[in-house]
Amino acid sequence: MKRLFAITVAVILAQPLSAQTVTRITAEPERVEVTAGQSTPIEIQAIGPDGQPVDAPLRVGAPREGLRVTDGQVTGITAGDYEIFVASVPMDGSTPIQLRIPVTVGWPAVDRVVVTSEEGRLFEGGRLLHRVAAEHADGSHRPYPDITWSSSNETVATVDPFGNVRGIGSGSVTITASVEGVPGTMMHRVEASNVTRLELSGGQLQLRTGDVQSMEVAAFDAQGRRIDHVPVSWSYLYQPDDSIRAPAGPAQIEDGRMVADVPGVYTAIASTGDARTEFSFRVVSRNSVRTLDVIGQGRESRVFTTDLWIWEGVDGRDYALTGSKFGDGVSMVWDVTDPSNIIKTDSIHVDARTTNDVKASPNGRYGAISREGASNRRNGVVILDLADPAHPRVASTFEGNGVTGGVHNMYATEDYLFALAGGDKYVIIDVRDVDNPRYVSEYNHPNSRVHDVWVHDGLAYSAEWETGIVVVDVGNGRWGGSIEKPVFVTSFPLTTGSTHAVFPYYQESTGRLLLIVGDERVQRNGLAWEGSGPDHRQQYDPETGKGGYPRATSGYTQIVDFTDPMNPVQLARYEVSEYGTHNMWVENDVLYQAYYEGGVRMVDISGDLMGNLYTQGRELSVFKAFDPLGYIPNSAAAWGVMPWKGNIFFADINSGMWAVNMRLTERPVS
């Protein structure tokens, strides 16, 4: 069965050309087999009417989670069955010629198996969870390995198919985990438990849905002496407040941390052997919903609107830039000083098919527009002089050092611009002289595709699809990096493999650095509702009856504690199952999430976090931009969002830019 994922598409161009007739496309080999982490050559050719190869552009797409096709090589990423999709690019508007190339990606052999266990000693009647890392010869890990567990002496300890080891009697025992015949072992000395009593502390008697209950357990022997390193199992009971039937999975509990999704009375239970303690508490509704008012709209229904960026101009007024997709290189300039009267002050035309990203420096000195699909195939970035913010001047274009392949996203500091280069790396550009931008350095993570980069405290955090988050020292200095010499710090894979956007946020109330990480899946393959097919992004065509459908996306936002970059911890997620995420912002413990057809959504991320914030009632407000005059009428599709001076601005793909406002929480009159 073929695994279907989001597709990475490249266009192979042989040389400048006039219209060429393509009658078929060939591939050698016709079927590809490759091992994950390795590459194999492939030759794809366009064939003309005379049976000879012709110089014609070809669009080559591959599932980015599974494999990569670049420079005549197919590289395996994740084991599975896939297809490479190839299509001609007719110059006369005729139907493209297509070819599908089957690809099988296999895993390399497992070379080593490492068994670890959770903290604690194994006592009679106690339980320890064990985990396995199956490594290949190159050091890479096998995801979700098929593990066979066994115990050398089941009268001492048993192990179930999930790695739970239970102490039965005193003595020594070896636990073995085998993957593809390669064993890994861990030895234990099981002792009789002298724990007679457990004490639970730290719990609150009442809290709200979504608030994390933090509890601690101490173990004591018959003489009242405390015993350390005792493994404790956690569970809970639930009594619903107002329903006869309890909802499924109303809470989560792990290592003394517990969060409830719905109101009711909960009892947390901690146990080890024959000792047990419990604590009951009430959970009430969070009641966090806030009224949202629509303040204004800057309608744009002629092209798809992409990202936005707002800044305070040197004249003291507030401005915004918005980009466009398939808009022939147009970006809009808006005066948003009065959000109820958003005024388009100018438009900027550059040589591009899409101006996906727009940025302005923190001090409002310069701006930048990314370019994709330039007519001369030298894309790069356009640097703007914002001395007259209502009418920016095109100061220069930077096209070197790999950015010719297309710039999808950027990040702007006061002096430097980080520009993605063909989705392969990011290039750092010195823009202190806007008329003469200068290459400084770059970072290209091995065997990885990059989609987004954000800089915080001298560290660059990049979102790199199946690689996850990559952290690079670009001036922090702790790891020896500088703007001239970026130094790799660490990487952290996320569970979905669709890491698309990242936003670092320092949470003052807890002293933690949180990474807000968004997936992007512009498809719903494998789900019951898969969308309306490939025409859903187009305007309605009355002649063909195609187009005019809302988007179909999936994916969610993940929240990671990155205070210690060497030991990141996945805390929580925000998942609205019917929609998919895009760009986000965080300010004052509020997550502002552009959620494509799910609209723009505001979420409370204050305090400790655990579980799915959506099911816990942490949503504050939601707004979907239904515009009957939109590019696709009444089809909400939020792309990017940015809070600014008390209001919330966001770009909607089909209807331009909007300003909304969440009312302050109304207090009851005493």
For residue 18, pLDDT over 50 is answered with no
Average pLDDT over residues 605-633: 95
Q: Distance between CA atoms of 570 and 610, rounded to whole angstroms?
A: 9
In single-letter form, the type of residue at position 368 comes to A
pLDDT of 496 reads: 82
In single-letter form, the type of residue at position 580 comes to G
Q: How many CA atoms lie within 13 A of 563 on its CB side?
A: 9
Average pLDDT over residues 25-41: 94
Residue that wins the pLDDT comparison between 541 and 407: 407
Query: Max CA-CA distance within the chain?
Result: 94
Model confidence band, residue 554 (pLDDT cutoffs 50, 70, 90): confident
CA angle 402, 446, 457 (to 5 degrees): 80
The predicted-structure confidence for 347-394, as pLDDT tens digits, reads as follows 999 999 999 999 999 999 999 999 999 988 889 999 999 999 999 999
Average pLDDT over residues 419-427: 93
| Cβ contact 42:27 at 8 Å | yes
CA angle 43, 46, 52 (to 5 degrees): 100
Average pLDDT over residues 584-608: 96
pLDDT of 542 reads: 74
| Cβ contact 62:7 at 8 Å | yes
For residue 227, pLDDT over 60 is answered with yes
Model confidence band, residue 582 (pLDDT cutoffs 50, 70, 90): very high
The tokens describing 56, both together, are 């014609």
| Cβ contact 578:598 at 8 Å | yes
Domain 290-444 CATH (choose: 3.40.50.12140, 2.130.10.10, 1.10.10.10, 3.40.309.10) = 2.130.10.10
Classify domain 198-284 at the CATH superfamily level: Immunoglobulins (2.60.40.10)
Place of tokens 């025992």: 173
pLDDT of 61 reads: 87
% of the chain at pLDDT higher than 70: 94
13-27, 290-304, 425-439, 557-571: lowest mean pLDDT where?
A: 13-27
Average pLDDT over residues 475-501: 94
Q: Distance between CA atoms of 304 and 616, rounded to whole angstroms?
A: 34
Q: Which fold has domain 110-190?
A: Immunoglobulin-like (2.60.40)
The yes or no reply on domain 7-106 and CATH 3.90.1150.10 is: no
Q: How many other C-beta atoms lie within 10 A of the C-beta of residue 583?
A: 27
10-14, 40-44, 142-146, 390-394: lowest mean pLDDT where?
A: 10-14
The tokens describing 209, both together, are 């849905």
| Cβ contact 592:586 at 8 Å | yes
Place of tokens 């909400």: 636
pLDDT of 669 reads: 43
Domain ranges of the chain: 7-106, 110-190, 198-284, 290-444
The chain-wide mean pLDDT, for the chain, equals 91
12-16, 305-309, 375-379, 402-406: lowest mean pLDDT where?
A: 12-16
For residue 441, pLDDT over 70 is answered with yes
Model confidence band, residue 169 (pLDDT cutoffs 50, 70, 90): very high
For residue 148, pLDDT over 90 is answered with yes
The predicted-structure confidence for 497-551, as pLDDT tens digits, reads as follows 889 999 999 999 999 999 999 998 877 777 887 777 655 567 777 777 777 777 7
Average pLDDT over residues 548-562: 87
Q: Write the CA distances from 519 to 192, 489, 556, 559, 575, integer angstroms.
A: 48, 22, 5, 11, 10
pLDDT of 4 reads: 37
The predicted-structure confidence for 78-124, as pLDDT tens digits, reads as follows 899 999 999 998 877 678 899 999 999 999 999 999 999 998 889 99
pLDDT of 537 reads: 64
Model confidence band, residue 37 (pLDDT cutoffs 50, 70, 90): confident
pLDDT of 480 reads: 97
| Cβ contact 225:219 at 8 Å | no
The predicted-structure confidence for 267-295, as pLDDT tens digits, reads as follows 999 999 889 999 999 999 999 999 999 99
Domains 110-190 and 290-444 share a fold: no
Q: What is the DSSP string of 539-572?
A: PPBTTTTB--PPP--B--EEEEE-SSTTS-EEEE
Average pLDDT over residues 201-221: 96
